[in-house]
Structure 1
Amino acid sequence: MSGGLECYEVSSVDRAEVLRYLGYSGQPMTQELEARIDGEVARCLSVCQPRGVWRTFEVAGREVREDGAPVVRLGGTALELVGSSIQKHLEGAVAVGVMAVTVGMGVERELRRLSLTDPVAQVVFDAAATTAVERAADACEASLVADARERGLYTNFRFSPGYGDLPMETQPTLLAALDAQRRLGITLAPKSLLMTPTKSVTAVVGMFGEPQASSHASCAGCLCRDFCRMRGAGTPCWKR
């Protein structure tokens, strides 16, 4: 079992992704609106503090519960991954990387302030913050890919609670397995299980002895590319 607590440098985000979260579909924009979007993106980047924590666990077993739901059990933790979607995602996996990232309470406070003072700016800032936390998730996933590489394993893509039939009820045990409340300050609402800071992401990544359909065939188009330590060393994850 391995893991780490990390800080990430997210100095830019993909403007097209920000616009996508805003629901943009090619409508004409005024120069004033363009400038406002750029301003809120810059404001978001100035206050966000991207951090993440991750651990890798061996797959300890697979079984089917009495209610018929498949379960993937991980060694050394109480975390169990339940559902057909995650079973398919981790089919053949020998280990699983578990991760949580956040861009911090500074972003949370700014979102609350803008909701009271400037709702339009709040919507744009929210889209920028969503894009920023996904970049932080890319950085954390890059660490899991590097850990898999050191083990001689291949990875697939990250999969979060709430995707498919992997229940949100996974969140408390997942965060506990990472000690994410103490290390990142992430807490959960008792009923909804939504995270605070709201701009936080949890996910799991499968690790396999053989390349998967989603294993990277090159560095081109890889979301983790900007944060990859192996590429700089000339030993990318797909080059064995």
Structure 2
Amino acid sequence: MATVESYDVRSVDRGEVLRYLGYAGQPITPELDARIDEVVARCLAACRPRGSWGVFDVAARGEKGGVPVISLAGTSLELRGRSIAEHLDGAVAVGALAVTVGMGVEAELRRLSLTDPLTQVVFDAAGTAAVERAADAAEASVVADAASRGLFCGSRFSPGYGDLPLATQPVLLAALDAQRALGITLSRELLMSPTKSVTAVVGLFEQPRGTAHASCAGCPCRDFCVLLRSGSTCRG
């Protein structure tokens, strides 16, 4: 059963916005600096971040056509590919998540493409940073669920990374009831609408996984962490 949530994303990492803009250390004028802040604020005001997530036990591991396949209990979702098999090596369960910042951002991007292409570029970068923050919030919920089971989370891995095919998208979204709950749909090319949407899976392990969530100070989920607010951490 998937859990549907709304998220309070009030800020984004400005460095991430600049990275999405292709910033490589070149000088930024005070006027452009202020413009970026203004557009980021406009984007955040248009965002309605929501997510759907669930945790599924690993039912089986095998191969089909020489390709590793991980099957998840209670769903028809199969994770295919050597990269995801390596990423989830040893996982006893998998958290799946889908998030979006909503159609308000999508509509404004379309409007700006016709009226103000420069602002659209900055707004698009801000929207990408915002949906990643929404994904951090959904991942924080998976981390808390894992901790309640005495398990530890790895890091996010999305369809299209490595050799995990985009064809994973329809079944992943269906497992989370994301079309009904979040309004996320797919094109024939398996691209999501709203475009500022993210899907991912996270492995749950019996032992801490490398550097994933290794410290609260550097954890991307920190601002949304239920465990931290209660005085504990996912590391026990």
Q: Structure 2-normalised TM-score? A: 0.98
Structure 1 runs (4+) deviating above 6 angstroms are none
In the other structure, the counterpart of 1:57 is: 56
C-alpha distance in 2 between matches for 1:136 and 1:215: 18
Could you tell me whether the CA contact under 8 Å between 1:83 and 1:166 is conserved in 2?
A: yes
Q: Where in structure 1 are there 5+ consecutive unaligned residues? A: none
Alignment of 1:208-219 (within 5 A): 208-219=205-216
Matched residue SS, 2:190:
coil
Please provide the CA RMSD for this pair: 0.8
Matched residue SS, 1:136:
helix
Alignment of 1:1-240 (within 5 A): 3-65=2-64, 67-190=65-188, 192-239=189-236
User: Sequence identity, in percent?
Assistant: 68
Matched residue SS, 1:158:
strand
Matched residue SS, 1:99:
strand
Matched residue SS, 1:42:
helix
Q: Structure 1-normalised TM-score? A: 0.97
Q: Where in structure 2 are there 5+ consecutive unaligned residues? A: none
Could you tell me whether the CA contact under 8 Å between 1:22 and 1:127 is conserved in 2?
A: yes
> Which amino acid letter does the alignment assign opposite residue 10 of structure 1?
V
C-alpha distance in 2 between matches for 1:215 and 1:131: 20
Q: Deviations over 1:187-240 (max 9, x none)?
A: 0001x100000000000000011111133232120000000010111111012x
Could you tell me whether the CA contact under 8 Å between 1:133 and 1:199 is conserved in 2?
A: yes
**What is the Cα deviation at residue 32 of structure 1?**
1.5
**What is the Cα deviation at residue 3 of structure 1?**
3.7
C-alpha distance in 2 between matches for 1:3 and 1:177: 8
**Number of equivalent positions:** 236
C-alpha distance in 2 between matches for 1:183 and 1:214: 33
C-alpha distance in 2 between matches for 1:80 and 1:55: 15
Matched residue SS, 1:157:
strand
Could you tell me whether the CA contact under 8 Å between 1:70 and 1:82 is conserved in 2?
A: yes
> Which amino acid letter does the alignment assign opposite residue 233 of structure 1?
S
Matched residue SS, 2:155:
coil
Could you tell me whether the CA contact under 8 Å between 1:215 and 1:238 is conserved in 2?
A: no
